[in-house]
Amino acid sequence: MTRECGYDITPAPIPYPTHNAVIKTNVPTETLTADVTRRRFLSSITNGILSVISGILGVIAGGAALSSRLGRSEEWLPASALHDLPDNEPTAVTLSVVRLDGFRDAIDRRTIFLVKTRDSEVAGFDSPCTHLGCLVAWDPQTQVFKCPCHGGVYDRTGAVKDGPPPLPLVKVATRVVGDRVLVQV
């Protein structure tokens, strides 16, 4: 190629292909191993933290469930003599229960009803009404337990007959040993 100045200038070779050529680049097509390692590391850390949290929650829930069952002592108190209970007639018995209140012993009075169902079987019912906790009383004329607060009525087995109580009277565990009736509090 000639120019006006009179010098012959040949074009320099082009270092890259001009058209219809494949251009090679250094961009990796696979994920870098450093990214995979970082991702695995963060995933394992997250899974570890979640495992520790769920383990702690499991220990707390398990401890709460076991403490309510294991922490309760099985204390049986004498309530009455078996021969003092009439057949199929609820008898009110007041117990004095000693419980620990902080650092002092507190004495609670608790009234239960004992019903002699057979010669050596006794059923026990707690006296608070299941509606709002008022103490029920046995009415011998109508043969039912009556709640004085809101008119709840229970039969001799503790089942609800009338009124607002949502549940039957709470049963108390009883045991007959010789001639003594023991109740669990």
Tell me the average pLDDT across 78-97. 82
Is the pLDDT assigned to residue 58 strictly greater than 70?
yes
In the chain, how many domains are there?
1
Q: Domain with 83 in it: what CATH number?
A: 2.102.10.10
Q: Could you tell me if 171 and 125 are in contact, meaning their C-beta atoms sit under 8 angstroms apart?
A: yes
User: Is 67 domain-assigned?
Assistant: no
Q: Could you tell me if 145 and 137 are in contact, meaning their C-beta atoms sit under 8 angstroms apart?
A: yes
Q: Could you tell me if 167 and 160 are in contact, meaning their C-beta atoms sit under 8 angstroms apart?
A: yes
Pick the more confident residue, 73 or 134.
Answer: 134
Quote the pLDDT of residue 135: 87
Write down the pTM of the prediction.
0.57
User: Is 40 domain-assigned?
Assistant: no
Q: What is the DSSP letter of 84?
A: G
User: Is 1 domain-assigned?
Assistant: no
Quote the pLDDT of residue 181: 85
Quote the pLDDT of residue 51: 94
User: Is 57 domain-assigned?
Assistant: no
Quote the pLDDT of residue 57: 92
User: Is 90 domain-assigned?
Assistant: yes
Pick the more confident residue, 181 or 12.
Answer: 181
User: Is 70 domain-assigned?
Assistant: no
Classify the C-alpha dihedral 27-28-29-32 as positive or negative. negative
User: Is 117 domain-assigned?
Assistant: yes
Residue-number span of the structural domain to which 124 is assigned: 76-184
Quote the pLDDT of residue 34: 56
In the chain, alpha helices (H): 33-70
Beta-bridge mates of residue 81 = 180
Quote the pLDDT of residue 12: 63
User: Is 170 domain-assigned?
Assistant: yes
Q: Could you tell me if 113 and 94 are in contact, meaning their C-beta atoms sit under 8 angstroms apart?
A: no
